[in-house]
Chains A and B, each alone.
Chain A
């Protein structure tokens, strides 16, 4: 057992916890969405549009998108730290990941509040 003195460095605890909390949020959203879509019939344009016109659905979907971005950032960073050893390449890929996730967030907000 390593004795950890919690001072400036936080040993990744916040990211570790955030990845798990966002996972639970996204799992809950998945169940809610499946419940609302119903498993029998495929949606029509009107029902699809009405579903995403509701305020709570927009907020929930945005919350999902934010959760996804945070969750995916921690996961992608873990993968890049494990497999990409040259610092410059890793930094470039991490920057590209952040940019991609930022684009996703902006796009999601634009779709939801068009």
Chain B
């Protein structure tokens, strides 16, 4: 009990400035936080958006045509590009985490290499599918 009271109050160094400019996350850290961000984006709003697109496009030929022209709008294409990136990043990072779960590539050097691979491959896939979209 007395040791709990005497516990040293440690300084916290987590100002917004520190978070944004001073703490530099290692690349596996970026993969991890982007896995969370992309996962959250996929649940909302992208899952709802895709259900809407599937709903309208399967409802009738007119609905399909409207969705096709809707997907031609530049802003909608940009949103689709963000969705594609989120999906590709989440998938690639997920495969990496599954391999880590199986104790594959846990050492520092391969973990760093696989983190770079995830970031690069998901961007390349986004470019590939984005090019198909445009």
Whether the Cβ atoms of A52 and B39 lie closer than 8 Å is: no
The A interface is mostly helix, strand or loop, or mixed, namely helix
A56 at the interface (CB under 8 A from B): no
B98 at the interface (CB under 8 A from A): yes
The B interface is mostly helix, strand or loop, or mixed, namely helix
What are the residues of chain B within 8 A of A79 when measuring CB–CB? 36, 39-40
A63 at the interface (CB under 8 A from B): no
Whether the Cβ atoms of B43 and A76 lie closer than 8 Å is: yes
Whether the Cβ atoms of B95 and A104 lie closer than 8 Å is: no
Count of A residues near B, CB < 8 Å?
A: 23
Give residues in B with beta carbon < 8 Å to A: 36, 39-40, 42-44, 47-48, 51, 54-55, 57-59, 61, 64-65, 87, 91, 94-95, 98, 101, 132
Give residues in A with beta carbon < 8 Å to B: 20, 23-24, 27, 30, 39, 45, 48-49, 52, 68, 72, 75-76, 79, 97, 100-101, 104, 107-108, 111, 114
